[in-house]
Amino acid sequence: MDAQNWVAMGYVKGAFGIKGWLKVKADTEYTDSLLDYPEWRLRRDRDVRTLALESGKVAGDELQVKFVGIDDRDAAALLRGYTVEIARADFAPAAEDEYYWADLVGMTVQNREGADLGKVVNLMDTGAHDVLVIEGGFGQKLIPFVSHYIDEVDGANRVITADWGVDY
């Protein structure tokens, strides 16, 4: 698989205990979501390792995980700072009218008049709803990802149509 088929989902904070356990900060809606995936890819710069999850649990707002073959604190400590990635192909299908953020990033956003507002570079969770962060020829735009402003998400063509003016 190439890099675009892997999605960053958190990072390794450091070693935990003496038996190879790690503390992981999950960047997922639910902290325990990462435990649903039996294989994780850890990446730091050009160093990439694919590891099998042996065990894991939620501890406060982080995960404590154990990988097959990482059996002591020294081996675990070497993984501090690695990004946790999950294969996009392993994601459960999204429900109707729901989308993974990873699928929206990179999509082109056009308004109803066909003007190209730019590409989705990120999303923000405001608590009330998600917001698309768009970068393009008209500058940065923040568009609430709600049905009032989003007319269509065309996944096949990677285009989002929005009720949003170029001068907003």
3-state secondary structure the chain: CCHHHEEEEEEEEEEECCCCEEEEEECCCCHHHHHHCCEEEEEECCEEEEEEEEEEEEECCEEEEEECCCCCHHHHHCCCCCEEEEEHHHCCCCCCCCCCHHHHCCCEEEECCCCEEEEEEEEEECCCCEEEEEEECCEEEEEECCCCCEEEEECCCCEEEECCCCCC
pLDDT (0 to 100) of residue 97: 85
CATH of 3-90, one of 3.40.640.10, 3.30.1330.10, 3.40.605.10, 2.40.30.60: 2.40.30.60
pLDDT in tens, 71-97: 999 999 999 999 999 999 999 888 888
* Whether domain 101-162 has CATH 2.60.40.10: no
Can you give the pTM of this predicted structure? Answer: 0.76
pLDDT (0 to 100) of residue 21: 98
Please compute the mean of the pLDDT values over residues 20-40 and round it to a whole number.
94
